[in-house]
């Protein structure tokens, strides 16, 4: 019974981490859609025409919606949970790292690395623990 309680705790932790990531994403989505000039200026960035930052905000919002099912029922939507880490959060962190360190884009884009990287790693850790505990339960090591 102890393992089952631990499993449910890790599933809850995963949901919390993913919801935290969604909330942080919304901290980018809403300003990018409704006040892109102001928001970009906070990071010393500009964009012209403003349709592109607005569109990226919309796409980030849509992507964030796809994270929700796994927070509600990780057993049913397990593939969504894994896709939120690989490729979604992983690609975001790699993309922004590449753009800053190789393509010489402003260091302000490292905010994307920090956000996607930290949420991705925390989510991955939860998923690894969930799978590990499920395997232990299946093998009868309760």
Domain ranges of the chain: 2-138
Q: How far is the CA of 78 from the CAs of 28, 33, 134, in angstroms?
A: 26, 30, 13
pLDDT in tens, 82-141: 999 999 999 999 999 999 999 999 999 999 999 999 999 999 999 999 999 999 999 987
Give long-range contacts, CB 8 A cutoff, 24+ apart: 95-103: none
pLDDT in tens, 49-70: 999 999 999 999 999 999 999 9
User: From CA 88, how far away is CA 83, in angstroms rounded?
Assistant: 6
Cα 107–Cα 108–Cα 111 angle in degrees, nearest 5: 110
| pTM as predicted | 0.93
């Amino acid at each position: 019974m102890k393992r089952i309680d631990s499993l449910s705790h890790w599933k809850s932790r995963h949901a919390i981490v993913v919801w935290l990531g969604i909330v942080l994403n919304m901290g980018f989505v809403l300003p990018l859609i409704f006040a892109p000039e102001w928001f970009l200026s906070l990071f010393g960035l500009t964009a012209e025409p403003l349709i592109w930052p607005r569109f990226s905000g919309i796409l980030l919002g849509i992507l964030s919606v796809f994270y929700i099912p796994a927070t509600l029922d990780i057993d049913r939507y397990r593939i969504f949970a894994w896709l939120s880490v690989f490729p979604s959060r992983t690609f975001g962190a790699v993309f922004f790292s590449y753009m800053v360190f190789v393509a010489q884009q402003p260091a302000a884009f490292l905010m994307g690395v920090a956000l996607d990287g930290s949420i991705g790693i925390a989510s991955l850790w939860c998923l690894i623990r969930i799978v590990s505990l499920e395997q232990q339960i299946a093998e009868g090591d309760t």
